[in-house]
């Protein structure tokens, strides 16, 4: 008994679905396929985040340079805080930190 037309269509539909699934798997796992695309997309997101952070740090450094070039009181403050510098004829008194009494 020959297969009916409906059965032929079902077989063709099954073969087509199987081919589409196979093709999807090949595309996903192939070199430069979907899996690698997703990994590269995540990598690009991470790099863009890092770029944004570095741009903010760069702007902070530019602001610091502008302060150092244009604001002598800022330069004096940095010299005193970071390098312990004093003005001529200035006397520095160091006050020791309070120590807790032992009981």
71 lies in a domain?
yes
Chain center to CA of 40: 14
Select the more confidently predicted residue: 99 or 36.
36
24 lies in a domain?
no
Residue 98 pLDDT > 70:
yes
36 lies in a domain?
yes
Q: Is this model's pTM higher than 0.75 or not?
A: no
91 lies in a domain?
no
How many structural domains comprise the chain?
1
13 lies in a domain?
no
Select the more confidently predicted residue: 73 or 3.
73
Q: What is the average pLDDT across 62-86?
A: 91
Q: Residue 50 and residue 56: Cα distance in Å, rounded?
A: 10
Q: Residue 75's domain spans which residues? A: 31-85
41 pLDDT tier (thresholds 50, 70, 90): very high
Cα-Cα-Cα-Cα dihedral of 36, 39, 40, 46, to 10°? -170
Q: What pLDDT was estimated at residue 24? A: 87
58 lies in a domain?
yes
76 lies in a domain?
yes
């Amino acid at each position: 008994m020959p297969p009916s037309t409906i059965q032929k269509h079902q077989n063709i539909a099954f073969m087509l679905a199987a081919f589409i699934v196979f093709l999807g798997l090949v595309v996903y796992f192939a070199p430069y396929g979907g899996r690698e695309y997703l990994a590269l997309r995540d990598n690009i997101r991470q790099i863009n985040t890092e770029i944004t952070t570095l741009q903010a740090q760069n702007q902070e450094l530019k602001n610091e340079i502008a302060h150092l070039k244009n604001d002598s009181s800022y330069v004096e403050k940095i010299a005193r805080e970071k390098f312990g510098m004093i003005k001529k004829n200035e006397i520095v008194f160091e006050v020791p930190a309070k120590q807790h009494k032992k009981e």
